Structure 1
């Protein structure tokens, strides 16, 4: 029984072993640039992880390509531009403000504002209609007409 338990424990321990990417850099600045870029770039598959945190195969490929570009001596702007050309602004966690992103940020606020305006206008209209319905007083012309009708009906 002990042998089966030990065998099962060994089999399970091999399944949890994960590969950790190890990159060698020539300078500390290159390593800092790589770490900054992998933290700022989004994994296209995971969509909520950056390249440093993602285990997706595309994220591994992107980390490797980013590492190669850093070693080649490319700066941050060149590397970011390379990834934007391939994946669009989606690859950035902080995309630049464009018409498309402005609509995404301002749109919900405008929707709530216009909805509030519609609600206020409808409630005012209903209260105005309710006060008009409660106006039970007759004008003098209506009183005269009513008196005439009642007089005619008595004859």
Structure 2
């Protein structure tokens, strides 16, 4: 009998946990689509790699509620994004704006690629100039004679 009571309690608790899905009523489908688009575009401050639509954290739930409230009040997308950035910083955006603080983020990879290309060109240019196996042309007469002697000794061995 106790087992049956425990199973009923366990099942009721598990159904309560799955009932925590957010449902929002919208005045039209365009607002619903804007909500879904903005929720997918905004990053959860706690989860760091999930958007607020996918996150189950309490702060993501608060952000979804705030987003719903703002859209119902008639705020446009830019007002919503400005509000979220003002409250949580640029981190809340998956695609941060191009500002002085984000220049390195936006242009750093291109700069590193450019530096890599320059280094490769410089290294390959130096290799072409110094061909292995050829003696340098500016040897003195004494050095040329010593070199010839060494080469002859190697050939006779």
Structure 2: state its 5+ residue gaps: 146-157
Question: Residue 43 of structure 1: CA displacement?
Answer: 1.1
User: Over residues 93-116 of structure 1, what are the superposed CA-to-partner deviations in whole Å (9 max), with x where a residue is unaligned?
Assistant: 333333443422332232233233
Paired with 2:7 and 2:95, the residues of 1 have a C-alpha distance of 46
Normalising by structure 2, we get a TM-score of: 0.66
How many residue pairs match? The answer is 144
Q: Name 1:72's counterpart in structure 2.
A: 73
RMSD: 3.6
Runs of 4+ in 1 over 6 A off after TM superposition: 136-139
Q: CA deviation at 1:53?
A: 1.0
Residue 93 of structure 1 pairs with residue 91 of structure 2: no
Where structure 1 has 5 or more consecutive residues not aligned to the other structure, the ranges are 147-155
Deviation at 1:20, TM superposition (A): 0.7
Counterpart-to-counterpart distance in 2, 1:65 and 1:51: 11
Within 1, Cα distance between the matches of 2:83 and 2:92? 11
Structure label with greater radius of gyration: 1
Check whether the contact 2:98–2:106 (CA below 8 A) recurs between aligned residues.
no
| TM-score, normalised relative to structure 1 | 0.67
